[in-house]
Structure 1
Amino acid sequence: METPPSSINRRDFLAKTAVGVGAGLVLGTPGLLRAATAGSPSNAINVALVGQGKQGQVLFDAMRNIPGLHFQAVCDIWDYNRKGSVGRVTSLQKHKPKAYSDIDDMLATEKGLDAVVIATPDFWHSPHTVKCLEAGLNVYCEKMMSNTIDGARAMVKAMEKSGKLCQIGHQRRSNPRYRFTLDQLINGSKICGQIVNVNGQWNRAVKSSQNIAYNPNLKISQDILAKYGYKDMHQFMNWRFFRDLSGGAISDLGAHQIDIFNWFLGTTPKSVYATGGNSYFKEREHFDNVMALFEYDTPQGQVRAFYQVLTTTSAGGGYWESFMGTEGTIKISENSAFTEIFKEASPAPKDPSAPQPDKPIPLSWDRLVQRGLLGRKAATWVAPAAGGVVDSRVSAPPEGFSLPGELNKPPHQPHLENFFAAVRGEAKLTCDARHAFMSEAPIYWVNPSALSQLPIVFTPEQLSV
């Protein structure tokens, strides 16, 4: 049974993490943005939606409750997606958006657009983003930035040349739980002590990784598919499994979490050594399982980070990131069921040989509970009875704690709120294209390492724009 925090509620929790995210937006301050109406109010942000497949729908659902947005146009090469998007938008704002099958037609025709939200397949991210930035529009683009590192570089250059905003969809960067953990616990209270290892995973069952089927009566014509880079309808529906169209599971799933490694450690890795294979989906171009070891140099010392992405089993508890330190460990996820914090049963002895100013000094965990920064969980370990024998090599399990507060909105919503607040000049982006590139650059080298079965020690050129 959990002991509830004594002095914090959801509003307090979110307030502590609002810096840089757009405090009024995260907290839902009334009147900051005016709700969209049937037309386009003078203070509304006029938005175009490009790419209205599954991820495009996820982003639209996250934008539904953000006031002050007017969805002016939608664009998708598939008539089925396009009609569905028009229906959803019309139902929301009682005003039918213009519909396009080609982004060039949309950009040439639509006047008064302020921003574009891009959720096309990865190999289109860079061309679409660059076009929109060059057209003078602000861009929110899903991650990965591109299926190639050069494509990602082009996005950074276009953003900086245009002077427009470009937010990349690493949505955890705006998630109150993650910002609270980094700002208040790791950097503020230093509850981990010295972080020495990092772990992360995203494990999916075979059932969730199957090919996506389609209704033959709704398929796209072959000439349209070829025009936009697809061999056939199967490839259009399952582009994530093809090397020319995506980076595979390590980019589709792993990029989110490796971004957290880099963000929380405050640096990028110096090397990667990866392995992978097709254990189940043998016909696919990309590996169905990848494991990667990153090495980091931090001010506190070297950190090794292990990451695995499996599309063949859900064993091991879904998706999370774990930061393990000499004083405590933080296991964090968008899913609160996977989120826990552990205090080491025995504090680490001081290292007299280490420069002490570089060694973080954790605050009292009891004080953190009293201040509402942590919740205490009931103890689950029972010490052996008198006379019992315990192997001296076995450490007592660490005490468990919980994070306060829940994000009672879609996980992408705070990141989109931050983007639109920045468009209004009311906040700074939490993940612009340059910061996203710095974090994504090492990920582009995971597949080459796995394919060659060799470690890669990064050069500055490999990780630079």
Structure 2
Amino acid sequence: MNQDKKTGSSGVSRRDFLKSAAVAGAMGAAVLAAPRILHAQNKGDAIRLGVIGTGTEGRVLINSVLKCQKEENVTFTALCDIWPHYRTYTAKLLGKYKQPVTEYEDYHDMLDTEKGKIDSVIVATPDWVHHEHAIACLEAKLDVYCEKEMSNTIENAKKMVEASKKTGKLLQIGHQRRSNPRYHIMLDYIRNKKACGRMTNVEGCWNRSKPLSVEWAESTALDAATLKKYGYDSMEHLRNWRWYKKYSGGPIADLGSHQVDIFHWMIGCPPISVMASGGTDNYPKMEWYDNVIAIYEWPEEVDGVKHIIRGNYNLYSTTSNGGYQEVFMGTEGAVIISEDATKGGLRREYTAPEADWEKELRKTLGAADKAQSEQKKESGEGKAAESASDIKTSHSVPSPGRYYPPIAAPLPPKTEHQPHLENFFHAIRGTEKLNCPGEVGYETAVSILKVNEAVAAEKKLAFSPEEFKV
């Protein structure tokens, strides 16, 4: 779950990346660009994995690897964590899956001892040490899958990208939605099928109500000397690092980065400005904001006319109302997406002409919901002239338009992180490009960390194009 310090990244233009991420067919899988063959590890050779950080997120990733372990020919070799309580627990779990691993407290020892015995490393430690662990692994000629957020500082995130470029090793950032088949399908609806028409607004949220602090049994606590050695002021800081400025960018970076990343991906570029409000209104003892509302602006040009896409993102820590989702709205409809497969769908304004893809989708989905079957009545097709009273109320009680439920991906169910890890393994073997290389993850890091600056500044902050480059 933990380790030591930091680093940074940048590169590929968002629009270029989008060109390679288009999707074919209403229910089709993602079409990836021809891979740039950086690695040609034989499919017959196992990819030997080390893991730095065996906390909750580390174990989530380990579980996802186990789901595809045989198909991808991946084996676990070593685990590293400064907290033996998690490290040994995870090692025992892997043992049950016939994956014997060597345990390490210090990542330096793991890299030295396992030299030539591991090919890649998953880094799932607190944000402030991501750069330290990722760079050390890259310099050891190992490919790296690093959990988001890349770092709690732009400088260290940039160093991560630079290290990947210098060493020629892969750096995948854990924005796993970029490999989610349902998100690729919705990307196709937004960018190719123009389900929204001209995009005008986006919104997203991640709201949850849960206990503020993560507890620990006193018998498992690290001694003061070990905590100090690895940079933690107390066991409280080790366990609840997300709430402290030394170790994290706060909940907005921890959770919000996932969805702001999706904004950039679907729109096709990073933002040009952000303003934000937030505070420690509910948990005043914590350092980072427990609720944040951010407003972004993105540039857009359609048929030679320049527009601004405005979007809001909110993160609340006292309510789970709204859950987590992203909504893309435009002149003809809206696309609602979420990692929660039961949420989302497509909504077309009743004024929007019926598109060919709607007809195909209706065939695929079968009978649509009641709102759709009422569409002709609501839109006025075949209806007698409206009365004066109808006209007076129609603008305040608008038609719901045509709604299509969430679209399932035509693939067997997988964990949320599994497709992104599979993409990483395929990139190692040279058959795919990374879906979220360091350069792309860096753009999101710049965008999300500036939210905290905007809250502190109490004003709108502009981004320059240079900020997103490494």
The DSSP-based 3-state class of the residue aligned with 1:324 is strand
* % identity of equivalent residues: 38
Q: Equivalent of 1:253, from 255, 260, 263?
A: 255
Preserved contact between residue 369 and residue 376 of structure 1 (Cα < 8 Å)? no
Match of residue 400, structure 2, among 397, 402, 406: 397
User: Are the equivalent residues in 1 in contact too, given 2:42–2:429 (CA < 8 A)?
Assistant: no
**CA 1:213–1:21 in structure 2 vs 1: closer, same or farther (change >3 Å)?**
farther
User: Using the alignment, how far apart are the partners of 2:34 and 2:143 within structure 1?
Assistant: 17
Of 284, 289, 292, 1:290 maps to: 292
Q: Which moved more, 1:122-131 or 1:403-412?
A: 403-412
Shift of the alpha carbon at 1:188?
1.9
Q: Is the 8 A contact 2:129 2:151 kept in 1?
A: yes
**Counterpart residue number, 1:305:** 311
Deviation for aligned residue 1:252: 0.4
Residue in 1 that maps onto 2:32: 19
- TM-score relative to the length of structure 2: 0.84
Counterpart AA for 2:352: P
Distance 2:365 2:47 in 1: 36
Q: How does 1:317-336 map to 2 (within 5 A)?
A: 317-336=322-341
**Does the alignment pair 1:101 with 2:105?**
yes
Aligned partners of 1:232, 1:160: CA distance in 2, in Å?
36
Amino acid at match of 2:165: E
Hey, what's the Cα distance between the residues in 1 that align with 2:202 and 2:432?
31
Change (3 A) 1:265 1:373: farther
Unaligned 5+ runs, structure 2: 1-24, 36-40
TM-superposition CA deviations, 1:296-351 (whole Å, max 9, x none): 11123210010001111112x20000000111100100002221210101128xxx
Going from structure 1 to structure 2, the CA distance change for 1:376 and 1:17 (only over 3 Å counts) comes to farther
> 1:405 is aligned with what amino acid?
A
**Compared with structure 1, are the counterparts of its residues 417 and 14 closer, same or farther at alpha carbon in structure 2 (3 Å cutoff)?**
farther
Task: Tell me the CA shift for residue 366 of structure 1.
Answer: 3.4
Structure 2 match to 1:366: 358
The alignment's C-alpha RMSD in Å is 2.4
Query: Does 1:201 pair with 2:190?
Result: no
d(CA) in 1 for partners of 2:88, 2:27 = 37
2:423 and 2:94 map into 1 onto residues whose CA distance is 21
- Within 5 Å, give how 1:33-182 maps onto structure 2: 43-66=45-68, 67=70, 68-92=73-97, 94-110=98-114, 111-182=116-187
* Cα shift at 1:397: 1.5
1:384-427: CA deviation from partner (whole Å, max 9, x where unpaired): 99866452422211221024325611100000000001111111
TM-score (norm 1): 0.85
Counterpart secondary structure, 2:419: helix
Which residue in the other structure is 1:356 paired with? none
Q: Which runs of 5+ in 1 are unaligned?
A: 1-11, 23-31, 35-41, 349-361
Query: Is the aligned partner of 1:433 residue 2:432?
Result: no
Residue number in structure 1 paired with 2:194: 190
* Equivalent-residue separation in structure 2 for 1:371 and 1:33 (angstroms): 42
- Equivalent position of 2:242 in the other structure: 240
Q: Is the 8 A contact 2:178 2:184 kept in 1?
A: yes
What SS is found at the alignment partner of 1:269? coil
Deviation of the 1:221 alpha carbon: 1.3
2:216 maps to 1:211: no
CA gap of 1:379–1:324, structure 2 versus 1, over 3 A, is: same
Number of matched residues? Answer: 420
Deviation at 1:228, TM superposition (A): 1.1
Report SS of the residue matched to 1:210.
coil
